[in-house]
Structure 1
Amino acid sequence: MTPTSDDDSILVINRPHADLMKYYLIASFVIPPIFPILLTIGAIRYRTMRYKFTDEGISMSWGMLFRKEIIIQYSRIQDIHLRSNMVERWLGLSKVLVQTASGSSSAEMTLEGIKEFEAVRDFLYHRMRGVKDDVPAADAMTGGSLAVGSPELAITLREIAAEVRGLRADLAARKDDDV
């Protein structure tokens, strides 16, 4: 699978948008007595958060004292969600939640501070599906693509139906011979 120009714009994303720091500032005002603590935690998270999109998967790392890194291959991705609260929408940000078949009900990776969230979601869906079906079944059988409504598709479906009818007749004949 070769990257397109749209993919190139996603592959260069390696940090959250600067508006994420504004979001952390606004969010830290929610509980005024611990404002400095919340702002410090948000600032450290923002300064250390890194993303990396590769041909095989996506990775995310953050943290100063306790560094955490998550790497997910595109083939393991099960679902992708977008989530944003009112302040994030006002800032034009969203979180991209990536889920795998790990058995956990929560997202395995949350990409925060993404302005191009719909493009990232589409990119991940494309990669996740592309890994699973690089060669579609119809292409593998016919050597080409069969468009919906094309005469070639109709002919192929008729041939399959005739083959199924023949198999049913053979099975019915064997059943009658066994009785």
Structure 2
Amino acid sequence: MTDSPSPSPLTASAAAEVAQLSRLPAVLRPHRNLLRYYVLTSLLAGPGFPIALLIQYFRFHTLHYDLDAEGITVRWGILFRREVSLTYARIQDIHLSSNLIERWLGLAKVQVQTASGNAAAEITIEGLQAFEAMRDFLYTKMQGARDRTLHPATSDASAGTEDALASTLREVAAEVRALRLGLGSAPAVTPAPAPEKTNG
């Protein structure tokens, strides 16, 4: 069941997450409600409940999100350590989704997609109560990264190079103009008539 969760007032932990998002680099940990969600979903495993719960327990305790000026990195796992890094410039779309239990716990998943052609999300950020703030933060960073690639800021060195190139082009244009004027004012040379052939 995927639908957009309704906005909720910020709790103290969500406010702390929002404050941490404003400072980069930031390391975010999931809210303890994510562990409750994992326990409830592990119950669906039936007889495999203890194994599913153990896997989800270790995932919860090792899961963290590193945000810096370039992108986001998600890390989790003990035996099989996983790490997914994504730059803001590669982000194509961001979705929020939550099921009934997640909404009851005040959680939602932020699904980040790229242009890789894969239908599934490249990164899924779960366990944050400030999920709307995370979505807005990622949209802002994604737009900023696109603006930088479309309109790169020129540095002083490149501005100096452009000035030198412009002055060189002006000199070449002046020389071409002088050559054109010199050719226009030169006396016209008429070709000598060909000698007539006589039959002799």
TM above 0.5: yes
> Cα 1:17–1:10, aligned 2, differ >3 Å: closer, same or farther?
farther
Residue by residue over 1:103-145, the C-alpha shift from the partner in whole angstroms, topping out at 9 and shown as x without a partner, is: 11110101111110100000000000011115987xxxxxxxx
Residue by residue over 1:52-106, the C-alpha shift from the partner in whole angstroms, topping out at 9 and shown as x without a partner, is: 0111000001111111100000000000011111000000001111111111111
CA distance in 1, matches of 2:20, 2:143: 17
CA distance in 2, matches of 1:12, 1:54: 6
In the alignment, which of 130, 146, 153 is matched to residue 132 of structure 1? 146
Seq. identity, %: 49
* Residue 25 (structure 1) aligns with: 39
* Residue 103 (structure 1) aligns with: 117
CA distance in 2, matches of 1:123, 1:8: 9
Contact 2:31 2:129 in 1 (8 A): yes
- The alignment's C-alpha RMSD in Å is 2.4
Give yes or no for the alignment of 1:92 onto 2:106.
Answer: yes
Residue by residue over 1:24-60, the C-alpha shift from the partner in whole angstroms, topping out at 9 and shown as x without a partner, is: 1111112331111111011011011110011100000
- 2:128 maps to a residue whose letter is I
SS in structure 2 at match of 1:102: coil
Contact 1:10 1:120 in 2 (8 A): no
Bigger Cα Rg:
2
Contact 2:107 2:128 in 1 (8 A): yes
Q: Count matched residues.
A: 135
Gaps of 5+ in 2: 1-17, 152-200
> Cα 1:5–1:37, aligned 2, differ >3 Å: closer, same or farther?
closer
* Residue 43 (structure 1) aligns with: 57
In the alignment, which of 78, 85, 109 is matched to residue 92 of structure 2? 78
Contact 2:112 2:123 in 1 (8 A): yes
> Cα 1:55–1:10, aligned 2, differ >3 Å: closer, same or farther?
closer
